Amino acid sequence: MRVILFLNQAFLLLLLLPSTEMKRPGKGRGLKRARSDRFVVPTCSELSESGENFVDCQDQYLTSIPASNTWSKVPKHLLLARNRIKVLHDGAFSGYESLISLDLQQNQISLVKEQAFEDLTQLTTLLLQHNRLTTLSEEALIFIPNLRYLRLHGNPWKCLCPMESLIRTLQVPSNRNFGNHARCAEPISLKNKKLKNINPDLLCEESPGDPHGNMTDPIEPSPIRSKSDATTLCHTYFFPKVQMDCSNRGLTQVPSGIPEDVVQVNLSHNSIRHLKPRDFQGVRSLRVLNLSNNNMEHIDTAGLLHLHELDLSNNKLRFVQYGVLEDLYFLSQLKLGGNPWLCDYNIHYMVYWLRLHPGVKHSGLLCHSPLEHAGERVEKYVHSYNRECPKDRQLSGPDQDQMDPELWGKPLEALGEVEEELEPSPLRVPQKYQIIRLS
């Protein structure tokens, strides 16, 4: 009996052994599944805009440049923003000879080899802002003879001797759109100074102090606080259309320096309280503006003449002052939800403006106060206001003359409603009228 019991236990143990083997790390099917997941090909979008093909590989966790034969059509624009690329190796863009724009912003790039951009002879726009570059050789740009726009800000540049050739290139007058907002992070003596304003002759001079170039300078007074610059604070994307993302930046006002060719601006999730008349002066191409989730209490839309879409949702707007919407000739969409709209006489202007512009699709215009109208559509409130005059505005009773239809259309003198006369009635000269017949 004991022998039979022992054999049963041994048989059960043999059945359990395969399952325990699979659960061990590094063995069995679990490892194969992990390996297959690690090398999943990212999902990129191939789109066409204005007859030009572009590939959108943003936010795909890429660590290297995809091969050019991956795409069904030769791309003109390659969007690789917000990935995990760290190094641009020699020949990284082999097969991309037709590229016009290359967006590599917001990666982890710390090294660009000298022949990384080889064969990109058609490239006009290169975006390298917000990476980890400390130095870049001017020789890397030799392969891009048609380059017109180069963005380098948001990198921790070490302004030492290896940067001399690049800084000289940036300061050539014809390269006025090269690295305009890039600043030094080191050494301390040049910290926060623009690369365009540094004397390159001083970079390779040996300093008598620290061999690393960290000279001890007297403390300079802090500069006067000025309005934040949009180009350095926000992320700019050029394709398929020029747009600027300034969301979640802790802004208390609209930043200056918004490019005049930007089409879409996202200023959501900040702390902006007032939209001022000159905030978007000169930004003539702006079509879409997102100001949602701010602390907006007052708005002035002057300068937004060509705007198509405006998002004002989730702010602190109670009403819109008379006349501020008159410049929005081309507006087609207006989002107003999540605001504490006060339903009194001040809200009437908004409703009348929307009636006169039936092509504007709006949403979220609901009364928040007073309590008796909370949750009611503002249009319904204004309609009821006009139909039934509030009690505090009513007179003791209607004038019988006004209620008599037979008296309508008679001159005021006949009704005795002229309060005062300049001359006694016998001395007044009767008005003469001449009828002219028009053929």
Tens-digit pLDDT profile for residues 155-194 = 999 999 999 999 999 999 999 899 988 999 999 999 999 9
Note whether 246 and 193 are same-domain residues: no
Residue 25 lies in a domain: no
Does 406 fall in a domain?
no
Which comes out higher in pLDDT, residue 6 or 51? 51
CB 142 within 8 A of CB 118: no
Q: Residue 79 has which token pair?
A: 């969007």
For residue 394, what pLDDT band results from cuts at 50, 70 and 90? Answer: very low
Residue 11: is its pLDDT beyond 90?
Answer: no
Task: Examine residue 358 and state whether it is found in any structural domain, yes or no.
Answer: yes
pLDDT for residue 381 is more than 50: yes
With 70 as the cut, is the pLDDT of residue 413 above it?
no
Return the bridge partners of 414, or none.
none
Owning domain of residue 66? 41-202
Sequence-separated (6 or more) residues with CB below 8 Å from residue 368: 318, 339, 340, 341, 342, 343, 374
Residue where one domain finishes, among candidates 359, 375, 391 = 391
Specify if 318 maps to a domain. Answer: yes
For residues 182-209, give the mean pLDDT: 85
Band (303; pLDDT cuts 50, 70, 90) = confident
In this prediction, residues 264-292 reach a mean pLDDT of 90
The verdict on residue 152 lying in a domain is yes
221 in any annotated domain: no
Q: Is the pLDDT of residue 14 over 80?
A: no
Residue 274 lies in a domain: yes
268 and 136 in a common domain: no
Same domain, 149 and 261: no
- Using a pLDDT cut of 70, give the percent of the chain over it: 73
CATH code of 65's domain:
3.80.10.10
**Which of 371, 391, 411 is at the close of a domain?**
391
In this prediction, residue 388 has a pLDDT band, given cuts at 50, 70 and 90, of low
Please determine, for residue 127, whether its predicted confidence score (pLDDT) is greater than 80. yes
The region of weakest confidence among 224-238, 293-307, 340-354 is 224-238
- Per mean pLDDT, which range of 98-102, 106-110, 237-241, 281-285 is the poorest? 237-241
Q: Give the mean pLDDT of 207-226.
A: 45
- Check whether residue 54 and residue 166 sit in a common domain: yes
Per the structure, how many domains does the chain have? 2
258/110 same-domain check: no
Confidence class of residue 132 from pLDDT cuts 50, 70 and 90?
very high
Q: What is the pLDDT of residue 7?
A: 54
pLDDT category of residue 32 using cuts at 50, 70 and 90: very low
- 76: pLDDT strictly greater than 50: yes
Burial class (CB in 10 A: 0-12, 13-18, 19+), 420: exposed
Q: What is the pTM of this model?
A: 0.62
Q: What is the pLDDT of residues 315-373, one digit of tens each?
A: 999 998 888 888 888 999 999 999 999 998 888 888 999 988 899 999 999 999 899 88
Note whether residue 190 is domain-resident: yes
Q: Omega into 200 within 30° of 0, i.e. cis?
A: no
